[in-house]
Structure 1
């Protein structure tokens, strides 16, 4: 197996607010024969960390009624989804839950999961298809990890994070055959709730022929987007708007005409810091007011951008954990 380059980035911060973060990053070049860690990284490690149902005894569900009753119950639960479960509309997820698919074929179709006004939720290894609203909606919630899922053919957002949510990581997912992938911040006029929050990490995701919002960010600062693989995204890759601060680091952009933009739609401009992204048949990513993008307060491991395509396509999506 060839050796891949991986950078452990050690960051020390004085605080977690957007205005007081100070940090020093010290990347060290080391050989490794493995991909980036499948363990939790990013913003969902903050605020006490994200453990979901933890060590609670797992229950396996095969029907919509069993899934809904378990994920809406009080207390910690680990819920194993087996086979295909058809839902309708948005279905509430209570705090301290892990929802994890069995094998590569576990699927939720038709409806979506509403992570609202709760904390400490993990959603892993599920195939989401044909949802009629959002596949995963996170609002007024903290410490949420969306990991190793596959999303395709939905109506609205695949993973939307909004309304003062915070400490969220979206990692190792595959998005395909879909338009609006990931919204961070639902509207231009919600800054009163969202400033100082909406801190989200996107890493090791595979955007395969999707259109826009990978992610599209309002207000959050810093939002960290690293080691993702973008293939033929037809609209744009990353968008920073409404004074957001987005750090776009060591991603692989393959045939993407607009890898990174600092304005989209009717929203005012945001700020972007770029570092060592790899471009193949792609346009030039936009950088704007990089000094306004707050520092990253957590330690994390990154791979060299030129290795991201092979690593992410080999590891993202369901059946890989």
Structure 2
């Protein structure tokens, strides 16, 4: 009888997309290992591991997720995501689209007519259509923005757990873990036009799939984040600019600190990861300490990551730029007062992209880059960058003012490239 019960349990687990050993290994109570990057510093990161059974939730739809998050409360909690949860749904679970959020007479056609730079000029949009856009955006935000509080673990069950259309926001919270979860298509129905006097301007979107602002001790592991379903390159061009619908995949801003991002996959996106959101945000000094290791950046145009102020350890990551990537710009952005220590990262690109294209500097001067492999060959990334940009930009220096000590074994770039290809992303925890 016991043997039959075990067999039935195994069959049920497999049919639900949950690994057969899921009960033997409860990843929902796992904590960050000692020395695993910056999030292991100053007490480490445990998320909701201390939650009592009354605060362990399995959620299958938006309403259950909202109840489990409890308005971003700091009560220790574990939230297990089962299947696909669509944020763009009403109270009854019915699918909502952009037309359902539009209010006060808003329409894209009317908005474009009102703020065409040829007639409106370079002033910020104002008036009835901009007010209607703001009201419409607020309606969408009510449905898709989810506040994550301190002492929270969010994990996906099995290999098919998805949050679709959602923006998870860890704001002024401490001790958070997000693991084994696909975050897909945080689609902004109501981008705002931002004109400027030096050019046409650009479209600005509102939602990151995961946004850390003022957050501390955060571990993001085996997450897959992408625009899957609505790539921005398929959107139309308005006012001479791509009508962007997505912001960052993972942004770490507003003096966030002590963050480890591991074994995650960032794909099919323009601006993937911003660390530090402004050149004048001097309050970020001494913060924004982030470790990125064993992550894959595939079909990412830029910001993988772009860093201001932070001490960022970037090791054993895999970068893949396919032939058809839309308007590749750079991977590692060196910005104001950043100090990036990059080790043993692997880059694969088409022939028209050169090693010097992998790095871009805006007011930043410090980048340690060792053990880099570019299209299968070792390269001295810093020397190549400085030679290529001689006379046009300030040289970068390898002296970043610090040496990482919180990390696991650092493999060769070649080995990491293979391991990350096999193991990064949701559903691949081993």
Which TM bucket (shorter chain)? 0.7 to 0.9
| Matched residue SS, 1:286 | helix
Report the counterpart of residue 168 of structure 2 in structure 1.
113
The one of 268, 275, 297 equivalent to 2:370 is 275
C-alpha displacement of 1:296:
1.3
Counterparts of 1:274 and 1:173, CA distance in 2: 21
| 1:1-321 → structure 2 map (5 Å cutoff) | 39=33, 41-56=36-51, 57=53, 58-71=56-69, 72-87=72-87, 88-132=143-187, 133-153=207-227, 155-191=246-282, 193-220=283-310, 222-232=311-321, 234-255=328-349, 257=354, 258=356, 260-263=358-361, 267-280=362-375, 285-286=381-382, 288-321=396-429
| Matched residue SS, 1:311 | helix
Aligned length: 279
Kindly provide the CA deviation profile for residues 268-310 of structure 1, in whole angstroms up to 9, marking residues without a partner as x. Answer: 1231001111111788633622223312132421111111221
Distance change (3 Å), C-alpha of 1:211 and 1:278: same
C-alpha displacement of 1:127:
0.9
Task: Please tell me whether the aligned partners of residues 240 and 272 of structure 1 are also in contact (alpha carbons under 8 angstroms).
Answer: yes
Report the counterpart of residue 198 of structure 2 in structure 1.
none
Counterparts of 2:159 and 2:153, CA distance in 1: 17
Counterparts of 1:306 and 1:62, CA distance in 2: 39
Unmatched 5+ residue regions in structure 1?
A: 1-37
Task: Please tell me whether the aligned partners of residues 250 and 276 of structure 1 are also in contact (alpha carbons under 8 angstroms).
Answer: yes
C-alpha displacement of 1:259:
5.8
Bigger shift: residues 293-302 or 43-52: 293-302
| Matched residue SS, 1:312 | helix
C-alpha displacement of 1:39:
4.9
Higher relative contact order (CA 8 A, sep 6+): 1
Kindly provide the CA deviation profile for residues 179-234 of structure 1, in whole angstroms up to 9, marking residues without a partner as x. Answer: 1111000111112x1011100011000111111111100011x2100000001172
Counterparts of 1:137 and 1:259, CA distance in 2: 27
* TM-score, scaled relative to structure 2: 0.62
Bigger shift: residues 122-131 or 275-284: 275-284
| Matched residue SS, 2:266 | strand
Task: Please tell me whether the aligned partners of residues 267 and 297 of structure 2 are also in contact (alpha carbons under 8 angstroms).
Answer: yes
Task: Please tell me whether the aligned partners of residues 272 and 289 of structure 1 are also in contact (alpha carbons under 8 angstroms).
Answer: yes
More strand by share: 1
* TM-score, scaled relative to structure 1: 0.82
Task: Please tell me whether the aligned partners of residues 246 and 293 of structure 1 are also in contact (alpha carbons under 8 angstroms).
Answer: no
Larger Rg over CA atoms: 2
Task: Please tell me whether the aligned partners of residues 330 and 360 of structure 2 are also in contact (alpha carbons under 8 angstroms).
Answer: no
| Matched residue SS, 1:302 | coil
| Matched residue SS, 1:121 | strand
Kindly provide the CA deviation profile for residues 214-269 of structure 1, in whole angstroms up to 9, marking residues without a partner as x. Answer: 1100011x210000000117221111110210001001111153464251xxx412
Task: Please tell me whether the aligned partners of residues 185 and 198 of structure 1 are also in contact (alpha carbons under 8 angstroms).
Answer: yes
Task: Please tell me whether the aligned partners of residues 272 and 293 of structure 1 are also in contact (alpha carbons under 8 angstroms).
Answer: no
Task: Please tell me whether the aligned partners of residues 262 and 270 of structure 1 are also in contact (alpha carbons under 8 angstroms).
Answer: no
C-alpha displacement of 1:55:
4.1
